[in-house]
Amino acid sequence: MSKTFMGRALLALLAAIAASFFLAPVGARADSGKYVNYVLQDAMSEYNAGNWSLYQEKYLTPTDPPAFADPISFSAGLNISNDFTVRGDAYEGARAVSNVRFSKDPARADRENYTLFDTSFVVYQNNKDNRAKDVEFGALLGLPEKNASKNECVYFMLDSFRFFLYDHGEAAEPVYLTETRDNALAGYIEYDFKLEVRLVATSAGELIVYLGFPDGKDVNVAYCKYEGLDFSGYVGYTATSHVAEKTGFSVNFDSIKLSGGTIADYNFTVLSASVDPAPLKTAVVSDKPIALAADIVTSPNLPEYHRAVFRVMKGDAEIKNGNLLYVNGGDEIVLRASSFYDPEIYQEIPFKATELAVSSVAFTNSFEGMTVYTQPFRLIAEVKSNSYVPEHNSVVFEVVSGNAEIFCEKYLKITGAGTVILRATSAYLDDAFATIAFQVTDPDRNYVPREGGEPSCQSNLAAPSAAAALTAIAAAALLVCKKKKA
């Protein structure tokens, strides 16, 4: 075999390895499947396909002309309205299911008992007229598939004023943990009597139920528990009506929280990739880098799948250390953010950096008559440049020498008498700065700066000075003397 052929074969092998690394297909395993803790982070102001899968059938609105609409909507919570099904139908009602599949930790022994998942929500109906209607709603736990039947999972069901639990279609009896031993609630679940529910599922097959009522009361006491259940699977929230006259029917699930253990097996789909545009709007030509951030959305939406890659597609700029953008020129730049696992999912943003020119930096404070009691002292500096963007005209303060410190970025703390030299430097250009020197005096030679924590960044109110404190003490002593004489 010739050396030339061997060299070509080696190069081909290295190229194949590199391609498989950088163009890892969706579903490729980055490790053997790590057990991770998932915490839902979703304001639910709108539908997030990375967190939820929706199952619903459109209904016909009573408008003129009628139109088809979805029963599920998101607005600071999950809302299901005007949904109708007949009991026993294949369609069991609208549901929103988390894309994360919860499971036991394979590294832990079966005899251990730990939380598999924990979900809580505030639920209510928005119309008192629906009390008599056959409306049901609640949580689907341990779904083997996201569209599986209610008879294939654990279903914690509520109606207008009661709760039930069905284990694979069979009614289960609770073990009550409070003096109240009834599944009837203290009132109707409506907008003026919202029910707070918390369901904790354990690896030992227990479901611990916490119920908070009336609205606003913390859920901190377990109401009852169920035993002998299997929760491995997906978690969903559902609601439906079983009567055709469902005008105004609506169930709201607010403040949904969901967390638990799942296996990050890298079997996922990348849905979208986007770059945070905020730091690009104030980009300047500088040797200081811009820290980039990307929002990668996947299904399931685990942080382990959110790795991003940044590339400069056009312009005089470069990426270093993965996410640091260095802008070298003022022409148009096109930046791309893509998923590390699926490079075909990306977003490109064009922007133009400012060639910032700072003409002057100057302190606008008066530093005359500074004493050890003058604190905290708010520092102000004026920057003149060719830009009207406030961020471009910001500065960084530092103490060059003297008994002083900078805290909260813009406040000066005096720690002793003497000469203090300050510097204000452009936040973008290190060669644009101003310095000032001033004297700090101590009117009370016996004054010892008090020790302790720095003043809060939330307030710029000065603490009472030692001189003021002594004056107050003297006045109090004089008042006591006058009372004794009297």
pLDDT one-digit tens code per residue, 156-196:
999 999 999 999 999 999 999 988 888 998 888 988 889 99
Q: Which CATH architecture has domain 34-264?
A: Sandwich (2.60)
> Per-residue pLDDT tens for 104-119?
999 999 899 999 999 9
pLDDT at residue 445 greater than cutoff 80? no
Average pLDDT over residues 18-41: 61
Helix, strand, or coil (residue 6): helix
Task: Report the mean per-residue pLDDT for the chain.
Answer: 85
Q: What is the pLDDT of residue 16?
A: 41
CB atoms closer than 10 angstroms to residue 84: 19
217: confidence class by pLDDT, cuts 50, 70, 90: low
Residue (of 44, 19, 157) closest to 93 by Cα position: 157
In the chain, where does the domain assigned CATH 2.60.120.200 lie?
34-264
> Per-residue pLDDT tens for 325-374?
999 998 999 999 999 999 999 999 999 999 999 999 999 999 998 998 88
Radius of gyration of the chain (CA): 32
The amino acid that residue 443 corresponds to is: P
The beta-strand segments (E) located in 126-268 are 135-143, 154-158, 163-167, 170-171, 175-176, 195-202, 207-212, 222-226, 234-241, 250-264
Average pLDDT over residues 452-464: 45
Q: What percent of the chain has pLDDT over 90?
A: 66
Rounded-to-integer distance, Cα 167 and Cα 151, Å: 7
In the chain, where does the domain assigned CATH 2.60.40 lie?
272-352, 358-470
CATH number of 358-470: 2.60.40
DSSP state at residue 454: P
389: confidence class by pLDDT, cuts 50, 70, 90: confident
Rounded-to-integer distance, Cα 344 and Cα 336, Å: 11
Residue (of 200, 161, 160, 203) closest to 182 by Cα position: 161
Q: Using an 8 Å Cβ cutoff, are 440 and 402 in contact?
A: yes
pLDDT at residue 4 greater than cutoff 60? no
Query: In 62-139, which ranges are continuous DSSP H helix?
Result: none
pLDDT at residue 133 greater than cutoff 90? no
49: confidence class by pLDDT, cuts 50, 70, 90: very high
Looking up tokens 């929500």, which residue turns up?
121
Q: Using an 8 Å Cβ cutoff, are 344 and 315 in contact?
A: no
> Per-residue pLDDT tens for 80-95?
999 999 988 999 999 9
How is 365-427 classified by DSSP, letter by letter?
S--TT-BTT--SEE--EEEEES---GGGG-EEEEEEESSEEEETTTEEEE-SSEEEEEEEEES
Q: What is the pLDDT of residue 214?
A: 59
Q: What percent of the chain has pLDDT over 70?
A: 83
Q: Which CATH architecture has domain 272-352?
A: Sandwich (2.60)
> Per-residue pLDDT tens for 289-324?
999 999 999 999 999 999 999 999 999 999 999 999
pLDDT at residue 480 greater than cutoff 60? no
N-terminal to C-terminal alpha carbon distance within the chain = 119
